[in-house]
Structure 1
Amino acid sequence: MSEQRQSGARRAVIAGAGMAGVQTAVALREQGFTGGVTLIGAEPHQPYDRPPLSKAVLLGTAEGSAFDVDFEALGIELHLGREALGVRPGDHVLDTAAGPEPYDVLVLATGAEPLRLPGAEGVPGVHLLRTLDDAERLRPVLARQHDIVVVGAGWIGAEFATAAREAGCSVTVVEAADRPLAGVLPPEVAAPMAGWYADSGAVLRTHARVRRVEPGTVVLDDGSTLPAGAVVVGIGARPATDWLAGSGIELGVHREVVADAHLRTSAPDVYAVGDCASFPSGRYGERLLVHHWDNALQGPRTVAANIVGSATGEPLAAYDPVPYFWSEQFGRFVQYAGHHTATDTVLWRGDPSGPAWSVCWLREGRLAALLAVGRPRDLAQGRRLIEAGAAMDPRLLADPALPLKAATA
């Protein structure tokens, strides 16, 4: 490494101005990085937080969700409306729509992009919900109380359906699988959530695929039709990494950037963080790709520590979090911590037909993951128990009257 790169004069460039990118820039300053910090975002808006988009911004109770960060005071150079086009690792250059950006260290934080409904591109009234512009386009749709069809009963689909019902819209949610959250939760855990749709006045149609979308109508694979003043597509997301083609940076099976335990990529002086990157978890013994807000908040601290530490010879920090996310849907606060597999033992705490219950996943007697509905104390204690690798007593754990921390073996 050159003398310049070992000094405080190094230049850090961050591609992506969402949560992960902004937090990386802030963390670099907080951890004493004195070199130049350049933050590059494709959108023209001041960097903003995404969770409010699915409710507060949609319903008009908030005009936006810009981060409360004084970039100028922190000495962070902010370039908006500038798309990243490629990386030349050998030259230490990030190519952008406005020209090349040389770097000493580069952080990839371009997040994820929503999957589009095949055949629906260009059809009037078809929407995605990922950006501030998406939310602004949907706000008047809700205000007019259109008939709305939501394609996909995942987290985003449920949250949008919740907001649309609160706005007084007629809502039908179309899901190809046999249940909501089919790719995330096992059938017995997702089953109680199916009833939440009807309770809110929304219609959930499972085993239903969209054949085509016409202006004002959705045609399903069984030939039935649904009136649709608007169609909102929430069928998942994928890492936004197409722009890295030809860079030589290793991508994984989901087209995500493959990062190591220190969030370094296969290219020298290039890190990756947030939705666009996977990392090996020593805790769970597998590579994780986490598309949630908390990952974009926590990972940047590790990246910043390793950028600063690489110049001083300090040991690199490993990134091995307990994944966490939450969702507000149909009047319920749903939280999840950890990571479960189909072979883990499922244990219930409370009645899933009631307003508050939890599900625990045990692996070799230890808590691997926890889903809490209306039980935030379970989540808080469970997250700490997962971090500690505590052995649990299943009999005590199944008693919802007992605190989780009292169920250790």
Structure 2
Amino acid sequence: MVGAGMAGVRTAVGLRERGWRGRISLLGAETHRPYDRPPLSKALLLGTADGSAFDVDFEGLGIELLLGRHAVALRPAERVVVTAEGPEPYDRLVLATGAEPVALPGTEGLPDVHLLRTLDDAAALRPVLEQRRDVVVVGAGWIGAEFATAAREAGCAVTVVEAADRPLAGALPAEVAARTAAWYEEAGVRLLTGAAVASVAPGEVVLADGTGLTAGAVVVGIGARPATGWLAGSGVELGPDREVLADDRLRTSVPDVWAVGDCASFPSARYGTRLLVHHWDNAMQGPATAAANVLGGDEVYDPVPYFWSEQFGRFVQYAGHHAPGDAAVHRGDPDGAAWSVCWLRADGTLSGLLAVDRPRDLVQGRRLMERGAALDPERAADPSVQLKNAAL
């Protein structure tokens, strides 16, 4: 396994659980023992947790940890992963290198400009919160909102700058995403939409309209890309977002090489499109299929994607994958404490569901999607009706 995050660890453990007795090596670019990422933008930042290492007995399972190993090339003809520390031979290979955050152009090497992806990133940001500095967050996506939440809890003054006209512009339709803008104001966060960053200097962020923002620290959350640059020239086919193009068995275009987690997309018969899912649950689910198929199985990977976020005192969950033409059915008062949105295809099939502090809707909706159920739109729109009872 190349990549020691959730996807790589779960695949390695899955191989042992399925009876593989041969050598298993887990290569990780970081020197830290493998750890979980969700706490990085929450408990670890606030100092309410000391670490997030996986509770896995690697030594007892006979899983060799090769940490601090940076993969720089793949040579399938030689069955070798080339690392900065030397070559690592393989018989079967799983790519699980995840994704890397997109940097704000022109900010490389500037002091007090931060990304949030690794344990070291979180450690570097903790003093920012402890010292209650004025923070400018660039990007009002999931990571931006979660960091802004933590920074406000720590007592920081926070300004969030978003180039689009609303938060979560790349994740949710306009009429739904626009509802979340009020959450920022309620939390005491200044939200500037339609605002592009022109330049960043120590202590200041300057917007395209000339506005200057005081910035004791800048946190950039403008997206992530699959960490696949090292695969150039390997024969592993990549997609338009640099993701590994895996098939529905998570096989790559190169024999005896599979891919799982944030670095890979896969074709979904359930949704009729190829999915690239940068979320924890995908890294949790995919390894079971990858491990089975590495050992000669023929399992198809076609999950109902799932994601959650804790922001501004709300628990936000999304399951499924809705298309632009799907009809939105709203459950509950969007200005209230809890509400949901269901998306239905033309035949009434539930394709996606967003739940804000309505976890029962999410659980029931996910099960309905797994079985391809259609809903009665009128009953689905009634928040007093359990979603499972709206199924046709």
Could you tell me the TM-score, scaled by structure 1's length?
0.95
2:336 is aligned to 354
Cα RMSD (Å): 0.6
The one-letter amino acid paired with 1:330 is F
1:324 is aligned to 306
Identical aligned residues as a percent: 72
2:231 is aligned to 244
The one-letter amino acid paired with 2:357 is G
The one-letter amino acid paired with 1:108 is L
The one-letter amino acid paired with 1:384 is R
1:357-380: CA deviations, max 9, x gaps? 000000121000000000000000
CA distance in 2, matches of 1:107, 1:350: 44
Matches within 5 A, 1:373-384: 373-384=356-367
Greater than 4 Å deviation, 4+ residue runs: none
1:215 is aligned to 202
How many residue pairs match? The answer is: 391
Secondary structure in 1 aligned to 2:342?
strand
Could you tell me the TM-score, scaled by structure 2's length?
0.99
Give yes or no for the alignment of 1:290 onto 2:284: no
Secondary structure in 2 aligned to 1:138?
helix
CA distance in 2, matches of 1:170, 1:86: 44
1:136-156: CA deviations, max 9, x gaps? 000011000000000000000
CA distance in 2, matches of 1:175, 1:187: 14
The one-letter amino acid paired with 1:229 is G
CA distance in 2, matches of 1:112, 1:134: 15
CA distance in 2, matches of 1:352, 1:190: 11
1:97: Cα distance to partner? 1.6
CA distance in 2, matches of 1:325, 1:41: 25
The one-letter amino acid paired with 1:297 is M
CA distance in 2, matches of 1:197, 1:127: 21
CA distance in 1, matches of 2:365, 2:47: 35
The one-letter amino acid paired with 1:101 is E
1:201 is aligned to 188
Structure 2: 5+ residue stretches without partners: none
The one-letter amino acid paired with 1:375 is R
Give yes or no for the alignment of 1:391 onto 2:374: yes
2:61 is aligned to 74
**Correspondent of 1:59 among 37, 46, 50:** 46
1:222-241: CA deviations, max 9, x gaps? 00100000000000000000
CA distance in 2, matches of 1:369, 1:297: 20
1:180: Cα distance to partner? 0.2
CA distance in 1, matches of 2:378, 2:178: 24
1:276: Cα distance to partner? 0.2
Give yes or no for the alignment of 1:403 onto 2:386: yes
1:137-180: CA deviations, max 9, x gaps? 00011000000000000000000000000000000000000000
1:181 is aligned to 168
Give yes or no for the alignment of 1:260 onto 2:243: no
1:86: Cα distance to partner? 1.0
CA distance in 1, matches of 2:384, 2:25: 51
Give yes or no for the alignment of 1:164 onto 2:147: no
CA distance in 1, matches of 2:314, 2:144: 15
CA distance in 2, matches of 1:247, 1:391: 44
1:40: Cα distance to partner? 0.4
Give yes or no for the alignment of 1:147 onto 2:134: yes
CA distance in 2, matches of 1:391, 1:79: 48
Structure 1: 5+ residue stretches without partners: 1-13
1:302 is aligned to 289
Give yes or no for the alignment of 1:192 onto 2:175: no
Secondary structure in 2 aligned to 1:15?
coil
The one-letter amino acid paired with 2:349 is R
Give yes or no for the alignment of 1:232 onto 2:219: yes
1:9 is aligned to none
Give yes or no for the alignment of 1:19 onto 2:2: no
CA distance in 2, matches of 1:214, 1:304: 47
1:271: Cα distance to partner? 0.2
CA distance in 2, matches of 1:205, 1:341: 28
CA distance in 1, matches of 2:222, 2:201: 19
1:280: Cα distance to partner? 0.1
1:387: Cα distance to partner? 0.5
CA distance in 1, matches of 2:304, 2:137: 31
1:99: Cα distance to partner? 1.0
The one-letter amino acid paired with 1:105 is R
1:19-67: CA deviations, max 9, x gaps? 0000000011111111110000000001000000001000001111000
1:97-124: CA deviations, max 9, x gaps? 2211111100000000000000111111
Secondary structure in 2 aligned to 1:91?
coil
CA distance in 2, matches of 1:219, 1:85: 36
